[in-house]
Structure 1
Amino acid sequence: MGVQDGATGPAAGLLRMAMEQAFNAVMITDAQPGPQGPRIVYANPALCQMTGYSEAELIGQTPRILQGPLTSPEVIQTLRECLQTQRFFRGSTVNYRKDGSPYVVEWNISPVKDEQGVVTHYVSVQQDISAVTGAWATSELLAKALDAAQDAVMIANAQGEIEFVNQGFEQITGFSRVEALGQSPTILKSGEHTEAFYARLWQAIQSGQTFRAVFINRHKQGHLIHCEETVSPIRGPDGTITHFVSLIRDQTARARTEQTLREQATRDALTDLLNRRAGEWALERAFLSAREGHKRFCVILTDIDHFKRINDTWGHPVGDQVLQRVATVLRAGVRATDSVVRWGGEEFLLVLPYCEAAAAQLQAERLRARLAEVDHAEVGRVTVSMGVAELRPHETLASLIERVDQALYSAKHAGRNQISLG
């Protein structure tokens, strides 16, 4: 089958000339499954030059003729799955020339459908990227050395597409080679850094400088990983930046140790509840646990009604006693898995993992009623207003806190000593 089959006129001639003169290698196969997969029906001169095979030697063969010991089974499996589901494929692996020498190929495959929508062929556009990936692709020793390294190595091209990762990258991030290749390094983005942070990174490496920092990345499973990372630009023969190499060292264990030390001093001195910083850690842990396990998660924000009046009328020592009394009731009225936080001033945040909105509302109502029953010796009856909110699918933690804050505002605006659901 020639590339002009099924087409006539000047357009067909132009198409053939374009294919014959194309810089990139082009292969067309049929869509017959067969025991060995589709068969090659067209190969342009660039493909023949890249592989060392003549067109006659390729026609009728399967693309497996180009595979060998270092060809990635994972990449080939992903390719097959894409073809079976009629999806576009893009990937990179090691192929072999006719003389047995390996080369690194980057290629994409698109299905071709007839007028009835039936896939009849696949067109593959390929490029030999050995000159870019050079040493690690052709030197078995260097490849083994990189894979033996516990630190992660990631190489991305100037367009921000990942072209190489080692086993250390897979172990630290949870992403396999197949999942990472062709993706952007933003697959690790956690949302913990500001846009200004990434702007500084980009400005440094674009100007040819090395950028070093501790990155808070996100593991494939969703949890945070603290990484000491160095990003350096790689220049081509003409001085143009062609790639960026990242060396990544996992510092999560050290970060957790530091976190433990911080938590030893994270109690509020007055109420013995978690202080704001510890509360934020508890919030994040509950949030990530809920998201990873697809579990329910609620928060209750509590505010003492007319607290400023209490301080102004009876003084701050009495106000402190009221805060302690409210803290005691809240702490005694929650589960062992819940967290009670002195969120700020007269505000308290209750973190309720594995809890849905209806249960959280009942919990809030019980606490509100219990607090309203207690008479302070000097102040008398002290009431609280409460906002309740449950984490929604795909919602951020910041959005959840904003909603519960608005719910609390609604409860106070409606007359206080009541509960509002956000």
Structure 2
Amino acid sequence: MRTPQSRLFQAAVMQSWNAIVITDADLAVGGRVEIANPAFCKMTGYTLDELRGRSLKILQGPETDPAVIDELRNCLREGRVFEGTAVNYRKDGSAYTVRWSITPVRDDDGVVTHFVSVQRDISESIRAEHENRLLARALDAASDPIIVTDVDKRIIFANLAFANVTGYGVEEVIGKTPALFRSGEHDDEFYATLRASLASGSDFRATFINRRRDGSLYHAEQSISPICDDTGRVSHYVSVSKDISERVDLEQALRQAATEDTLTGLHNRRHGLHLLEAAQRRTQAQGTSLSLLVCDIDHFKRINDRFGHPAGDRVLREVARILRQSVRSRDTVIRWGGEEFVVVLEDCPQGPAAELAERMRARVAEHRDAEVGTCTVSLGLATRAPHETTDALFARADAALYQAKRSGRNRLAVA
């Protein structure tokens, strides 16, 4: 007669979601099945009637690891608990991976009478693990830098391309947040837009200026996408980027070549003309003053003829530096061509403009080149009249310059 306790134990075994099988202790035949719960029958494809009295050797097959089976037998002979993983085969011949533990059951005299095995089909977990490893290898082989973060923005994966670009080892960034790479070049609005985009479930794409491990900056064309779990909740974020530093440098060099005089570093004539016209439009709209200085190095041809063009180029750079250092931060200094310079003075009436021009002239005259010695400049100044065009303003300043040269050079003439 079964006791309430034995009925409870039997119910627990038969209703467990883990596969449970109980065999006798006859190791000569490998242990015959006495009890197998529905979960075990479902996992193997055998009914209890088909299993009862048979050895579980019927579940072994070509891919079952003999070393695991040998270890199992040793444990059972010695009455020890066994834990292991192996490939078994269902009744229909299909393979599955099982993780199981086998525990000996002893009677009151300590003799092993049965073995209880608790098993779990881990085929899906193994398959998912293999797929994850394959995915990790694929991501690692990608040429573009990739990182994956959890929902708290902690990095859980970084590929080799990311390590190569940033200079950090993969193990150094795991557990860190992408804030590690912040350069300080982006404002709060940039990051607020990023957070708002990801919070809405949308991708965020932008050009990031990031900082490498050695402190150097690089430009990355980067996309960040949220990853959702089966319930639709964001669980991770994946970032794929491309180092575009070379392209950015090239674009910057092209822009610089289009706007900058290569010898002096000042605005070139083409770009300077655009800046002059823009200044003219602003002053006309705002009703402020606009003064224009035209400056020319005196006897520059003599410098080239006597000391050579390298010396002449050096004098041009020195004069350009003095002019740039003499003006206000909002003023524009242009190398107009040859030894001629133009200075655009916004919101600067004639009186202050003349004082600034005199300061320029004096500083150039005070400067001494080690080879050439001193040189001087002549300047022409014109202040824009109401409704005067840019061309007319320039013509008046240019005429004033020639007046300064006719009057003996190294002086300012005001139109």
Q: Is the TM value for this pair above 0.5?
A: no
TM-score (norm 2): 0.38
TM-score by length of 1: 0.37
Computing the radius of gyration from Cα coordinates, the structure with the larger value is: 2
